[in-house]
Amino acid sequence: SLTVAQAAMGDIAPVRQTDSLGTLLRRFSDGENLAYPVVDADGKMTGLVTLAHLKDLLTSSDCWDWMVVADVMVSDMQGVSESVPLAAALKLIEDTGCEQIPVLSEPTGRPVGILDLRHAKKIVHQELIRLQTRT
């Protein structure tokens, strides 16, 4: 049975809730990620921000310097720990309606990656093929 750790996209550095929108948009344009966990000054997760949340602001560059991540993040986003079965995490994604959720470290509760619905489905598909070719 697959776990979140096996399907998560790791090494995604979180953004701070005090980062400007301009800084956040540069992070999105420099990388391939569609979502970032948001942390406070102590590194504790406070939410999630996705590119989809920003689409209405992409043409309003006048606000990029004074708006901050906290203004656009989803603050009631539940994270999932690395050891959770992938099936349970995919159900959580379905229930939240958000295609990405933060992955949290077991001991610290700090974000260590993102579980992306499309990427997770690809991992499940690869695992099914692997299991079928073994028999």
Question: What is the crossing angle of helices 117-134 and 86-96, to 10°?
Answer: 150
Q: Does residue 24 contact residue 54 with C-beta atoms inside 8 Å?
A: yes
4-134 maps to which CATH number? 3.10.580.10
Neighbours of 73 (CB within 10 A): 21
Q: Which residues on adjacent β-strands are paired with residue 50?
A: 35
Q: Does residue 39 contact residue 116 with C-beta atoms inside 8 Å?
A: no
Q: Does residue 26 contact residue 51 with C-beta atoms inside 8 Å?
A: no
Task: Kindly report, residue by residue over 78-125, the tens digit of the pLDDT.
Answer: 899 999 999 999 999 998 888 999 999 988 889 999 999 999 999 999
Please indicate whether residue 62 or residue 132 has the higher confidence score (pLDDT).
132
What are the extents of the domains in the chain? 4-134
pTM value is 0.85
Helix (H) / strand (E) element for 124: namely: helix 117-134
